[in-house]
Structure 1
Amino acid sequence: MVSDSVVHVTLMYSPQSREVQEVSLQVAAPCTVLQALQLSGLLERFPEIDNLHTPIGIWGRKTKLDECLRDKDRIEVYRPLRVDPKVARRERFARQGSRGTGLFVKKRDGAKAGY
């Protein structure tokens, strides 16, 4: 039986693509996101995480550093995008061409383009 004074949380951070750092913690009940970050050691291992400017979420929803944690919360530390998604999509489309993407991939024989 888990007592009310202990909260189990997981911290997730991906310093680069296809690499995920996961830290599981048991902390005292009135614990904030910032306190959990400090206890996890992620701030020391990854100095690029800036407390004040790095977006942080709990289960995919953006949150503040002073948010109190609940049992089995997953804290996610987000890194900034390196490429604008719109630019990446345009470049991908330019490489693949219009025939290999979107609605026009499967075309019946003899049909007009776009139908």
Structure 2
Amino acid sequence: MVASNIEIEVVYALPQRQELVRLHLPDGATVRDAVIASGLLGKYPDIEIDGPNKLGIFAKLVKADTVLRDRDRVEIYRPLIADPKAVRKKRADEGKVMKKGGGAIDAA
């Protein structure tokens, strides 16, 4: 019996560019296997599979032990610099402050 292979991509987006690696892996390979085989861990030591970096397949978060299917696109996400909820709350609070005490509008 011949072992079948799957073709996948591993992507890591940086602020100025995107790294994309195409791989052929044995059927049954996991997301972790793909990230390791991509060589991106050696190239970018800030990537931590079990650390702050989340992993996904076609923009859907998955765990590192998720089994891949043929033509999957594994995505390595960088940690967020700021919490989007906190940023929205801050903007909303600043908007409220700016609206308070508004004077009368001059009619020309």
> Offset of 1:28 from its aligned partner?
1.0
Sequence identity percentage: 35
Amino acid corresponding to residue 32 of structure 2 in structure 1 = L
Looking at structure 1, the residues matched to 33 and 39 of structure 2 have their Cα atoms a distance apart, in angstroms, of 11
| Bigger Cα displacement from structure 2, 23-32 vs 76-85 | 76-85
> Where do 1:48-87 residues align within 5 Å?
48-53=46-51, 54-86=53-85
Looking at structure 2, the residues matched to 30 and 88 of structure 1 have their Cα atoms a distance apart, in angstroms, of 41
Q: Which of 43, 46, 51 is matched with 1:45 structurally?
A: 43
Structure 2: where are the runs of 5+ without partners?
Answer: 100-108
Looking at structure 2, the residues matched to 50 and 65 of structure 1 have their Cα atoms a distance apart, in angstroms, of 11
C-alpha RMSD of matched pairs (Å): 2.4
Looking at structure 2, the residues matched to 50 and 31 of structure 1 have their Cα atoms a distance apart, in angstroms, of 19
TM-score, length basis structure 1: 0.69
Moved over 4 A (4+): 86-89
Looking at structure 2, the residues matched to 75 and 84 of structure 1 have their Cα atoms a distance apart, in angstroms, of 24
Amino acid corresponding to residue 71 of structure 1 in structure 2 = D
Find the counterpart in structure 2 of residue 101 from structure 1. none
Find the counterpart in structure 2 of residue 25 from structure 1. 23
CA-to-aligned-CA distance 1:9-45 (integer Å, 9 cap, x gap)? 0011013x23111111111112111111111001100
CA-to-aligned-CA distance 1:33-67 (integer Å, 9 cap, x gap)? 11111110011001101120221011111111111
TM-score, length basis structure 2: 0.73
Q: How many residues align?
A: 92
Looking at structure 2, the residues matched to 18 and 58 of structure 1 have their Cα atoms a distance apart, in angstroms, of 22
